[in-house]
Structure 1
Amino acid sequence: MEPESTVTTCYRHPKVESYVRCTRCDRVICPDCMREAAVGHQCVECVKEGARSIRQARTVVGGQVAAVPVVTYALIALNVLAYVGQLVRPEIVDRFGMLGAGLVGPDGLHYRWQDVYPADFAPEGLVAGEWYRLLTGAFLHLSPTGGTFGILHIVMNMAALWSLGRTVELQLGRVRYVALYLLSALGGSVLVLLLDPDALTVGASGAIFGLGAAYYVMARRLGANMNAVNRFMVTLLVWLVVSIGFTSWQAHLGGLLAGGVVTAAFAYAPRDRRTLVQAGACAALLALLVVLTVGKVMALA
């Protein structure tokens, strides 16, 4: 009778001889499967299980803490890519810019809306069912030589998004930050629809004004030194007033109001039912914007 072999092998690599055991599960592990622990070594599975059991750090509003503001980077990238698309195909602006109601003539040109129009004209905008314009317009900008600012339009907006977005994203967490950005953009588009439905508007300004409101609300919530924050807010409001003559101030104001409402719900929701209150506030704002949009479109049509 042959003596029983005393050779032990790694539980993940049966051909590799080893005599080291995981300090948690006591399984044999080879050097490739060893992970340093406070005492001895642990296997890969035990390390993963331990990581899952560690409570994740949260922001003051309940979002997961993230060291890198990847959503801000992604939003900047989307805006830049959309701008490159505009340069290649300028008709993208007419097709996807925010527009409540307009007409396309038989000559392919665009005309102001009127509810009674010739048979060879076709409606465009939200009255034609193009609901996507409420958000797609927030990712487009003026052409390099268009409007008052030209290429400075996207440069200034992306600089503001870079500056504000990184701070607000780290304060809110990624999911809440995305909700804030999209609802602010939507709020800006809806106010444009309500007050100036014939205007074709583009730009991320509504969403960025929403970030500005969020920056102010979060600073108050976190007990920050408000001197610099108040100066920033005054500058933002002055720009809102000054820009009335040559920008879509309706988008700015709509984004500011929506962003302030959303962030207040995030920041001051009671801790014991925080997620429910925050989600409910976002859903309520979204429902209000939808009702206002549908009502205005029905009135136009």
Structure 2
Amino acid sequence: MDQQPPADRDPSEEGGATRFCYRHPDRGTGIRCARCERPICTECMISASVGFHCPECVRTGAGAGHHPAAARPRTLTGGAVASDPRLVTKILLAINVAVFAAVWLTGRSWLLQDLLLVGRAWDSQPFPGSLTGVAEGQWYRLITSVFLHEELLHIAFNMLGLWWLGGPLEAALGRLRFLALYLLSGLAGSAVTYWMSAQNQGSLGASGAVFGLLGATVVLMRRMNYDLRPALVILALNVLFSLRPGVAWQAHLGGLVAGTLIAVALVHAPRARRNLVQFGACALVLAVSVLIVLARTAALT
């Protein structure tokens, strides 16, 4: 929840435990400009060779003396600041909606049969005939199912979650890191579903990826010293929802764990080894997901 500083206090003063960005007085922050020491939020901070600088120090050249790259705006995690901080979020949302529309316009059956996450072949309703799955080598289903929805309410909830969580995360992490977070969370959710579900149990939806974004949001809010209670309440409600019959809780679990671990590496990586730690964590999540799929496939064949 946003907090307002007292009306009789300058937002940049030290008056309380919570400091507020001098450019956005409604945003609490624990970060200061390394040059002028004014409080700055994630949107205003610009990565420099030493700490973060505010836009004014960069613009006047006061903060650019350490390194030529210091004047280039960077996100909290070292990504490039984009003019449209929601571009990847919009593209992911558009892909999900386009696939959903295609499923309905083509009569729903053949696209679902081709893109659904399923372990191995079956011969039953709702897809009479032979349906091959991941165990038969169709690994692409681990990703295509993340963009696949059948019911309007299902895609509506997932896309609302993607929009609400994706925009702030993309702005804070940068496009490439945000995309890696989303896709790897979705892949991990599919891998855990494949591992823990019945071999002929179909699964679809972006819930695993969205749960990864939810876990990352909690990590980021903790890093920024924001009040975690609203995020934790939302997380608890979603976990309870996952326990309902017919819900693929395995995807939620896999996505949540993967997204949380990746986010910890992204926002807490030491500056000297930032890229190594960040992309190493992504590679680790990918490797574990692949190992889970290989082990499950070996058990089914």
Per the TM superposition, whether the score is higher than 0.5 is: yes
What do the CA deviations read for 1:214-246 (whole angstroms, capped 9, x no partner)?
Answer: 1000000111122322322222322233x3x12
Per the alignment, residue 12 of structure 1 pairs with: none
Q: 1:46-74 CA deviation, whole Å, 9 max, x = no partner?
A: xxxxxx97732111111112242100000
Does the aligned pair in 2 maintain the 1:60–1:267 contact within 8 Å? Answer: yes
1:176 counterpart residue number:
177
Asked if 1:136 corresponds to 2:144, the answer is: yes
CA deviation digits over 1:98-143, x for unaligned, max 9?
Answer: 11112358xx715xxxxxxxxxxx561012211100000000102x
RMSD: 1.8
**1:82 aligns with one of 89, 99, 108:** 99
Within 2, Cα distance between the matches of 1:202 and 1:135? 10
Which one of the candidate residues 118, 131, 150 is aligned to 1:99? 118
State the match for 1:275 in structure 2: 275
Flag the structure with larger Rg.
Answer: 1
Pairing 1:216–2:218 present: yes
Contact 1:79/1:140, CA 8 A, preserved across alignment:
yes
Which SS does the other structure have where 2:236 is aligned?
helix
Matched AA of 2:117:
M
Partners of 1:239 and 1:65 in 2: how far apart?
35
Whole-angstrom CA distance in 1 between matches of 2:233 and 2:133:
38
Select 2:87's aligned residue among 46, 66, 70. 70
Cα distance in 1 for partners of 2:69, 2:206 equals 40
TM-aligned CA deviation for residue 276 of structure 1: 0.7
On the 8 A contact 2:99/2:147 being kept in 1, the answer is: yes
CA contact (8 A) 2:118 2:203 kept: yes
Q: Does the 8 Å CA contact 2:145/2:205 hold for their aligned counterparts?
A: yes
Kept after mapping to 2: 8 A contact 1:210/1:258: yes
Q: Is the Cα contact below 8 Å between 1:67 and 1:170 reproduced in 2?
A: no
Tell me, what secondary structure is at the counterpart of 2:122?
strand
- Please give the secondary structure, in 2, of the residue aligned with 1:251: helix
CA distance in 1, matches of 2:69, 2:173: 23
Please list every run of 5 or more consecutive structure 1 residues that lacks an aligned counterpart in the other structure: 1-51, 111-121, 143-149
Tell me which amino acid in the other structure corresponds to 1:250.
Q
Q: Structure 2: how far apart are the matches of 1:56 and 1:240? A: 42
The Cα offsets for residues 17-38 of structure 1, whole Å up to 9 and x where unpaired, read as: xxxxxxxxxxxxxxxxxxxxxx
Q: Secondary structure at 1:109's aligned position in 2?
A: strand
Q: Match for 2:91: what amino acid?
A: A
Is this contact kept in 1: 2:242–2:248, CA < 8 A?
Answer: no
Contact 2:192 2:292 in 1 (8 A): no
2:247 alignment partner in structure 1: 247
Cα distance, 1:247 vs structure 2: 1.1
CA contact (8 A) 2:113 2:131 kept: no
Q: Secondary structure at the match of 2:73?
A: coil
1:97-246 to 2 correspondences below 5 Å: 97-104=116-123, 109-110=128-129, 124-142=132-150, 150-196=151-197, 197-241=199-243, 243=244, 245-246=245-246
Distance in 2 (CA, whole Å) between partners of 1:54 and 1:291 is 40
Query: In structure 2, how many angstroms separate the alpha carbons of the residues matched to 1:207 and 1:288?
Result: 16
SS at match of 2:71: coil
SS in 1 for 2:202: coil
What amino acid does structure 1 have at the position aligned with 2:155? I
